[in-house]
Structure 1
Amino acid sequence: MPSPDLITERSDPAVQRIIDVTKHSRAVVKTVLIEDIEPLLQSIRAGVGFIEIYGLDTVTLPDELLDLCAEREIPVRLLAAPVANQVFKTEKKPKVFGLARVPKPSRLKDLSDETGDLILLDGVKIVGNIGAIVRTSFALGASGIVLVDSDLGSIADRRLIRASRGYVFSLPIVLASRDEALRYLQDNGMRPVVFEADGELAVGDLDGMDERLILMFGSERIGPSGDFSTIAASSVSIPMNPAAESLNVSVSAGIALHARARRNLAR
C-alpha cells in the first residue's frame, strides 16, 4: 500500500478546514474533528461520512485503519510537525484524527421502530458519564438514548465522541426537551421504569420482564425529576452497602443494562 501524502504547507486547503473545525465559537456544527484510532474506526464502521483522515508524520498509521479507509474511499494524509503546531497551537495535538460530516440528528420517533430498551438520562451533565453510558448501551443491546437537560448542543461534541470512544454514532441518541420526552413516554406504549434509592423492585427483577422498557436515570445528587418519577410504571433500586452514599450513574446504568442483556442482546 502506498504511503499517504504529506502536508507540508500552511496554504494547503485542508489546514484551514482543520482550523475552522477546532474553533470553539462555531454557531452551527456541520463538521467535527474525531481523534484517536478506536473512535475513528468505530465512527467509520457506523457510517459517518469522513472528508479526510490525518496522522502526524511521526506516527505509523495502523493497517486496520488504512484498510478501512481504502475500503470506504476515505482519503488519508500525513501532517508535518510544523504545520500541526500551527493548527493546534497550545491545544494538545491528536496523533491521528479525521474531519467528518455531522450526521443528521436522531428524533424521538426514530426510536419507536427499534426493539431494545431505551435509556433516558434526566439532568445528567457530566460528559464522561454520558459517554460511558453510550458505550455500555451499545455493548449490551439498548436501542437508543434520550438526553434531557444535558447541556449538550449536539451529540457531535468532541468531548462526548472521545468519552464514548466513537460509539456515539452507533445508536440513536436524541437531545429532547423535558416536554418532548414526557409526551413521548406517555404516547409510545413502552413501560417506563425509574431508578431510585427506595424502588419497589430490585434490579434483578428486570431480567424477568419480557417487554420493552425505558430505563430512566437522573443525576447522582437528586435523581430523576418528579415529572419522570410520576409517570413511571415501576421504580427500581440497586441493592448496595448502606454505608455507601450512591453509585455513579454510569455504573447504575451498566448494572441495569446487564440485568436486561439477555433480552436485549437476543434481539
Structure 2
Amino acid sequence: MASQDVIIERSDPAVQRIIDVAKHSRSVVRTVLIEDVEPLLQSIHAGVMFIEVYGIDTTPLPADLLAACEKREIPVRLLASAIANQVFKAEKKPKAFGIARVPRPSRLEDLADKTGDIVVLDGVKIVGNIGAIVRTAFALGASGIVLVDSDLDTVADRRLIRASRGYVFSLPIVLSPRTEALRYFQDSGMRTMVFEADGDLTVDDLNAIDERIVLMFGSEKAGPSDEFSSVAAESVSIPMNPAAESLNVSVSAGIALHGRARRNLSASPTA
C-alpha cells in the first residue's frame, strides 16, 4: 500500500466524525470506534464494514493491518500527533483505530442453524468477564452467546470490543429480554445445562456428550436465576477446593468450553 495521507487540520471532516463516534453516550449507535491493531484485524476478518482506518503519524502501522485494509479496500490515513491529542484528550491515545459501521444485531433465530454449543450469560454485567468469555467461546468452537440482563445496549460497545479484542463480531452475540430467551430455549429442543455449586453432573461429564448443548451461567455473585434453573434439563458443577468460595464466571465458562472443545471444533464448518 502506498504511503498514507496525514491529517494535519482540525477542520478535516474526519476529525469531527472521530470525536462524535468516540462519545460515550449516543442515543443511536450506527458507527463505532474500534481501537488497536488486534481488534481491528479481527473485525476486518469478521467482515465488519469500515469507513476508514487511522494511525498516528509518529507510529508506523503494521504491515498485516495495511495488507488487510488494502484487500478490503478500506481507506487508511494518519492523524498528526497534535490532532490525535485533541481528539482523545484525557483518554489513552490508540496507535491505530478505525470507524466502522455497526453490523445488524444478532437474533435468537440466528443460532438455530449453527452447530456448536451456545453460552447463555444470565445477569453477567462485568464487561471484562463478558469479553473474556467471547474470546474463549470463539476460540473453542461455541456458535453463539446470549446475554440476558447484561446492561449493554449494543454489542458494539467500545468496552466490550476492547475486552473481547474484537472477537465480538466473529460469532453471534444476542442481547435478549429474559422472557424471549426463556421461551426460545424451552421451544428449541436443545439440551440445556445450568452451572451450579451442586450439580447433577460434573464438568468432566460434558466430554462424553455428542450433541449440541446450551451452557447457562449466572453471575458470580448471584448465580443463575430461578427462571433459567427451571428451564435447564440438568445442572453441572465444577469440582473445586471447598475452601474457595467460587470461580470467576469467565473462568467457569472457559473450563466448560475446554471440555467441549473437541466436539465443538470438529463440528465447526471452519475447523
User: TM-score of the superposition, structure 1-length normalised?
Assistant: 0.99
What amino acid is aligned across from residue 197 of structure 2 in structure 1?
Answer: A
Displacement of 1:6 in angstroms is 0.2
Displacement of 1:214 in angstroms is 0.4
What SS does structure 1 have at the residue aligned with 2:256? Answer: helix
Displacement of 1:43 in angstroms is 0.2
- After TM superposition, list the pairs within 5 Å mapping 1:180-259 onto structure 2: 180-259=180-259
Partner of 1:22: 22
Segments of 5+ residues of structure 2 without an aligned counterpart are none
Partner of 1:54: 54
Displacement of 1:262 in angstroms is 1.0
Alignment of 1:165 onto 2:152: no
How far apart are the structure 1 equivalents of 2:141 and 2:86? 43
- What are the superposed Cα offsets for residues 173-229 of structure 1, whole Å, 9 maximum, x if unpaired? 000010010000111110110000000101010111111100000001111100000
How far apart are the structure 1 equivalents of 2:144 and 2:235? 20
Displacement of 1:25 in angstroms is 2.3
What SS does structure 2 have at the residue aligned with 1:99? Answer: strand
What SS does structure 2 have at the residue aligned with 1:146? Answer: strand
How far apart are the structure 2 equivalents of 1:55 and 1:127? 26
How far apart are the structure 2 equivalents of 1:34 and 1:79? 15
What amino acid is aligned across from residue 10 of structure 2 in structure 1?
Answer: R
Partner of 1:135: 135
How far apart are the structure 2 equivalents of 1:22 and 1:3? 26
Is the deviation greater in 22-31 or in 102-111? 22-31
How far apart are the structure 1 equivalents of 2:120 and 2:225? 12
Partner of 2:260: 260
Displacement of 1:111 in angstroms is 0.4
How far apart are the structure 2 equivalents of 1:81 and 1:206? 52
Displacement of 1:38 in angstroms is 0.3
How far apart are the structure 1 equivalents of 2:83 and 2:168? 30
Partner of 2:121: 121
What amino acid is aligned across from residue 99 of structure 2 in structure 1?
Answer: L
What SS does structure 1 have at the residue aligned with 2:135? Answer: helix
What SS does structure 1 have at the residue aligned with 2:154? Answer: coil
How far apart are the structure 2 equivalents of 1:2 and 1:24? 34
Greater than 2 Å deviation, 4+ residue runs: none
Alignment of 1:81 onto 2:81: yes
How far apart are the structure 2 equivalents of 1:87 and 1:36? 16
- After TM superposition, list the pairs within 5 Å mapping 1:65-104 onto structure 2: 65-104=65-104
How far apart are the structure 2 equivalents of 1:146 and 1:25? 24
What amino acid is aligned across from residue 48 of structure 2 in structure 1?
Answer: V
How far apart are the structure 1 equivalents of 2:104 and 2:197? 37
User: TM-score of the superposition, structure 2-length normalised?
Assistant: 0.97
What amino acid is aligned across from residue 159 of structure 1 in structure 2?
Answer: R
How far apart are the structure 2 equivalents of 1:252 and 1:34? 28
Percent identity over the alignment is: 77
What SS does structure 2 have at the residue aligned with 1:131? Answer: helix
Displacement of 1:92 in angstroms is 1.7
How far apart are the structure 2 equivalents of 1:246 and 1:118? 23
- After TM superposition, list the pairs within 5 Å mapping 1:142-161 onto structure 2: 142-161=142-161
Displacement of 1:247 in angstroms is 0.4
What amino acid is aligned across from residue 50 of structure 1 in structure 2?
Answer: F
What SS does structure 2 have at the residue aligned with 1:174? Answer: strand
What amino acid is aligned across from residue 42 of structure 2 in structure 1?
Answer: Q
